[in-house]
A and B are shown apart, each in its own frame.
Chain A
Amino acid sequence: GENVEQHPSTLSVQEGDSAVIKCTYSDSASNYFPWYKQELGKRPQLIIDIRSNVGEKKDQRIAVTLNKTAKHFSLHITETQPEDSAVYFCAANPTGGGNKLTFGTGTQLKVEL
């Protein structure tokens, strides 16, 4: 089955700096890669997603890049703010999975003042 690895597990940046979180996946047939942000005690919130027919997608300060050949995708957050502090999860859809998502283990992002 699909395996999604996520790095780093914790990331600390200064306010205004950029943050990058990387994920790799194992199933070459995966074609949908969402990113969720989860604040403590709250629901995972979709922040951006990318489908395999594009290599990059941007939404204001957030961007995701996808390299299908290498089977990895990354989340880029620019001009980080304290409210960006949360756990970020990447996910991928395994072959034959319908809406099934396989999630990474999460990255705790801390934006320091």
Chain B
Amino acid sequence: DAGVTQSPTHLIKTRGQQVTLRCSPISGHKSVSWYQQVLGQGPQFIFQYYEKEERGRGNFPDRFSARQFPNYSSELNVNALLLGDSALYLCASSLSPGTSGRGSTDTQYFGPGTRLTVL
């Protein structure tokens, strides 16, 4: 039973470049969330997608964008890279999207991450 997979595992870019990170959720899971984890800190929420629609967005600039495909895999794009974008980018997979307000949050399972280094 495959878990969440991400590619590539490592990436080195220079300032101003663009990067695309990929994620495949656990089979049967339809929701994907992206997190940024800077060294020594907890993950920070970037986006959530469910059924190809954006369901949530964190406090990140418009240089960050994402999309989800019909097979529920997802891509995270970051344009005009800055040194501060260097981090571990984690994808989390869940069965359902959770609900807003005083609703429920579904259990999330993380992928191994993509380590992005911006020089």
In the complex, the answer to whether A105 meets B42 with C-beta atoms within 8 Å is yes
Interface size class of A (residues with CB under 8 A): 20 to 34
> In the complex, what residue of chain B is closest to A45 when comparing beta carbons?
B110
In the complex, the answer to whether A95 meets B111 with C-beta atoms within 8 Å is no
* Number of chain B residues whose Cβ lies closer than 8 Å to a Cβ of chain A: 34
With A93-B98, A98-B99, A100-B56 as known contacts, state yes or no: A46 contacts B107, CB within 8 Å: yes
What distance in Å separates the Cβ of A87 from its nearest Cβ neighbour in chain B?
A: 9
What distance in Å separates the Cβ of A81 from its nearest Cβ neighbour in chain B?
A: 23
Task: Note all chain B residues with C-beta closer than 8 A to A98.
Answer: 48, 50, 55-56, 97-100, 103, 105
Interface residues of B, Cβ cutoff 8 Å to A? 4, 31, 33, 40-45, 48, 50, 55-56, 58, 90, 92, 94, 97-113
Interface residues of A, Cβ cutoff 8 Å to B? 4, 6, 29, 31-32, 34, 36, 42-46, 49, 51, 89, 91, 93, 95-106
